[in-house]
């Protein structure tokens, strides 16, 4: 049996707020190496329910690996991650190892939606079929209900008229909006975005950021790896700067982006702004 993850000894004022929608993510002492390369180095981070966190940092700093660890697409070497106090995947505690069974990992993953840089839609399925597949297979929804929910989600991302199109018939921005709707179709508590606008032509970035902004107001916990600093400033409650697998600095955008403490954060921002 997997024990409940104990609360850390020190709470921030925010993390003891009652959980309503859920979606509190607690990352504790997470490390991960690929061979001799340490990609995550004792990362600790708490995201309160409904918050929006922007993760920034140079290429190779471990941002994607951290996101993948939250979804247990990446198995960590040490430390653990919990969503609403429920362990994700695996925890090494001294000599004791707790590991969820594959079916429990899959069940837990329903809480976490993921949106990738490259959309990853099923090319052979229409937009609406892309959206109903997982709710039918994973949530066990009747097809009629899955279709009704999918239409609602498409309307929410401004694509009600594209239900029967194939992904190749859509612009990159439209495909990414479908990918966001698909991530929402499992009603996740948390949505992770890995550079969701990096593959888009500049004129298509805004429509995708607008959808994410709307989502930010809805109470779903969001984690967004992004190089869009203006967007992070506007939408994020918390900005996290990573380098070399470590969190060098974290805090509200008004401080981290405007008056960073760490010289490496300042250097990074000078390059991307």
Q: Which is nearer to Mg ion, 157 or 242 (CB)?
A: 242
Using CB distances below 5 to 8 A depending on partner kind, what does residue 62 bind out of Mg ion, ligand ADP, none? ligand ADP
Q: Which is nearer to Mg ion, 60 or 251 (CB)?
A: 60
Q: Which is nearer to ligand ADP, 60 or 158 (CB)?
A: 60
Q: How far is the CB of 9 from ligand ADP (least distance, A)?
A: 29
Give the integer Cα–Cα distance in Å for 110 and 86: 13
Only one of the segments 7-15, 60-68, 129-137, 238-246 lies at the binding site for Mg ion (rule: CB under 5 A); that segment is 60-68
Using CB distances below 5 to 8 A depending on partner kind, what does residue 130 bind out of Mg ion, ligand ADP, none? none
Q: Are 143 and 178 in contact (CB under 8 A)?
A: no
Tell me the pairing of strands 78-83 and 25-34.
Answer: antiparallel
Q: Which is nearer to ligand ADP, 32 or 91 (CB)?
A: 32
Q: Which is nearer to ligand ADP, 33 or 92 (CB)?
A: 33
Using CB distances below 5 to 8 A depending on partner kind, what does residue 34 bind out of ligand ADP, Mg ion, none? ligand ADP
Place of tokens 């967004």: 224
Alpha helices in 14-120 (DSSP H): 63-70, 102-109
Only one of the segments 59-67, 88-96, 246-254, 255-263 lies at the binding site for Mg ion (rule: CB under 5 A); that segment is 59-67
Q: How far is the CB of 194 from Mg ion (least distance, A)?
A: 6
Q: Which of 51, 53, 61, 64 binds Mg ion (CB under 5 A)?
A: 64
Query: How many binding residues for Mg ion (CB under 5 A)?
Result: 1
Alpha helices in the chain (DSSP H): 63-70, 102-109, 127-137, 143-156, 172-184, 202-216, 229-235, 253-256, 263-272
Using CB distances below 5 to 8 A depending on partner kind, what does residue 174 bind out of Mg ion, ligand ADP, none? none
Give the integer Cα–Cα distance in Å for 141 and 121: 20
DSSP characters over 187-235: --SEEEEESTTTTS-HHHHHHHHHHHHHHHTTT-EEEEE-S-HHHHHHH
Q: How far is the CB of 242 from ligand ADP (least distance, A)?
A: 7
Give the integer Cα–Cα distance in Å for 233 and 211: 16
Only one of the segments 13-21, 61-69, 72-80, 248-256 lies at the binding site for Mg ion (rule: CB under 5 A); that segment is 61-69
53 binds Mg ion (CB under 5 A): no
Q: Which is nearer to Mg ion, 37 or 148 (CB)?
A: 37
Residues found near ligand ADP in the complex (CB under 6 A): 34, 37, 39, 57, 59-65
130 binds Mg ion (CB under 5 A): no
Which residue's Cβ lies closest to Mg ion? 64
Q: Which is nearer to Mg ion, 53 or 64 (CB)?
A: 64
Q: Are 131 and 181 in contact (CB under 8 A)?
A: yes
| CB burial string 196-227: b at 16+ within 10 A, e below | bbeebeeebbebbbebbeebbeeebbbbbbbe
SS3 84: coil
Q: Which residues bind Mg ion (CB under 5 A)?
A: 64
């Amino acid at each position: 049996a997997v024990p409940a993850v104990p609360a850390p000894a020190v709470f921030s004022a925010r993390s003891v707020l009652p959980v309503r929608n859920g979606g509190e993510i607690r990352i504790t002492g997470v490390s991960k190496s690929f061979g001799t390369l340490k990609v995550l180095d004792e990362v600790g981070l708490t995201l309160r329910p409904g918050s929006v966190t922007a993760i920034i940092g140079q290429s190779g700093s471990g941002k994607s690996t951290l996101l993948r660890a939250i979804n247990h697409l990446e198995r960590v070497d040490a430390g653990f991650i919990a969503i609403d106090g429920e362990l994700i995947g695996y925890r090494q505690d001294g000599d004791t190892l707790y590991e969820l069974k594959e079916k429990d990992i899959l069940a837990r993953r329903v809480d976490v939606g993921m949106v990738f840089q490259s959309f990853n839609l099923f090319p052979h399925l229409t937009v609406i079929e892309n959206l109903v597949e997982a709710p039918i297979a994973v949530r066990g929804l009747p097809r009629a209900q899955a279709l009704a929910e999918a239409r609602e989600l498409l309307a929410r991302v401004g694509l009600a008229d594209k239900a029967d199109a194939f992904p190749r018939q859509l612009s990159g921005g439209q495909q990414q909006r479908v990918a966001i709707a698909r991530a929402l179709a499992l009603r996740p508590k948390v949505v992770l975005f890995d550079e969701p606008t990096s593959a888009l032509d500049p004129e298509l970035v805004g429509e995708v950021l607008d959808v994410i902004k709307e989502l930010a107001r809805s109470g779903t916990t969001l984690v967004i790896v992004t190089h869009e600093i203006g967007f992070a400033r506007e939408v994020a409650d918390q900005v996290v700067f990573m380098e070399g697998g470590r969190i060098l600095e974290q805090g509200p955008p008004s401080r981290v982006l405007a008056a960073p403490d760490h010289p490496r954060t300042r250097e990074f921002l000078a390059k991307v702004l």
